[in-house]
Amino acid sequence: MAEVDLLAKLPKGKRKITQRAEAKNPEVIAKSREYGELYFDGPRTYGYGGYRYDGRWIPVAEDMVKHFQLKAGHRVLDVGCAKGFLVKDLMSVCPGLEVFGLDLSEYALMHCEPEVIGRLHWGNAMKLPFPDKSFQAVISLNTIHNLERADALTAIREIERLAPGKGFIQVDSYRTPEEKAVFEDWVLTAKFHDYPEGWVRLFQEAGYTGDWYWTIV
C-alpha cells in the first residue's frame, strides 16, 4: 500500500474558484449530484462544463499499464468510469487488455465512447457485481469521495475484494487549512473528504492494500 501519482501526466485545468464559490447553492449542489447532462455537459457552474474526449488519458493509461504490469488477457475495472475515456485508452495502449467500467450515471453511460459500448456497467461502487479476485487491477479516480464515509469504507473494501493489492484510488484532499478552504469553495459532489492522513486511516480501516493519490484543487 503506497502513495503513487499515476495521474502526473494529466493536464491541469484552470479553475475559476471564486466564480464557482459565488454560484454555489443547495440547488446547484443537488443538480450536480444527479450526475446528468448538467453535470457533464452543462455550464461549468454544475460540473465539468463539457466532458469530451481529447486523448489526455493516453499517457495516464500507459503509466497504469506499466505500474500494474498489465498485458493482453488481463482484466481491469474502472469504478466511476463516466463516459469511458480511460477504458478506451487502456484498451488502445495495451491491445488485448480486457477493460470494463462501472458508473451510476445513466447519462454518462448513454453518451460513452463508441469503442467501449458493451464494456460499461451501470451500478454503484458499494456493490461491485463481480467475483472475488476477478481483476488484475481496479482503478477508481475522483469517485469514492462522492460517498458518505460509511459508504466510502464499503466501496474501498469492494475494490480490495476484486483485486487484492492491485487497486488504485484517487480522491479529493488538501494538505493545509488554506487548501481546504479553496477545496470547500470549489467542491460540488464530494460528501466525505479529509486530509491525507484521514484518508489513509480510512484505507487501513477498510483493509485496503492497494495504492492511492490525491486530487488537490
The predicted pLDDT at position 180 comes to 96
Residue 1 lies in a domain: no
DSSP for the chain, please give it.
--B--TTTTSPPPP--HHHHHHH--HHHHHHHTTTSHHHHHS-GGGSSS-----STTHHHHHHHHHHHT--TT-EEEEET-TT-HHHHHHHHHSTT-EEEEEES-HHHHHT--GGGTTTEEE--TTS--S-TT--SEEEEES-GGGS-HHHHHHHHHHHHHHSTT-EEEEEEE-SSHHHHHHHHHH-SS-S----HHHHHHHHHHHT--SEEEEEE-
Residue 109 lies in a domain: yes
Residue 81 lies in a domain: yes
Sequential pLDDT tens for the chain (217 residues): 799 999 999 988 778 898 898 899 999 999 999 999 999 999 999 999 999 999 999 999 999 999 999 999 999 999 999 999 999 999 999 999 999 999 999 999 999 999 999 999 999 999 999 999 999 999 999 999 999 999 999 999 999 999 999 999 999 999 999 999 999 999 999 999 999 999 999 999 999 999 999 999 8
pTM above 0.75, yes or no: yes
The predicted pLDDT at position 95 comes to 98
Residue 59 is placed in which grid cell? 499517457
Residue 4 lies in a domain: no
The predicted pLDDT at position 149 comes to 97
Single-letter amino acid, residue 129: P
CA 28 to chain centre: 21
Residue 5 lies in a domain: no
Residue 92 lies in a domain: yes
User: Which CATH number is 140's domain given?
Assistant: 3.40.50.150
| Domain count across the chain | 1
Pairing state of beta strands 120-122 and 137-141? unpaired
Residue 2 lies in a domain: no
Residue 75 lies in a domain: yes
Print the domain residue range for 178.
17-216
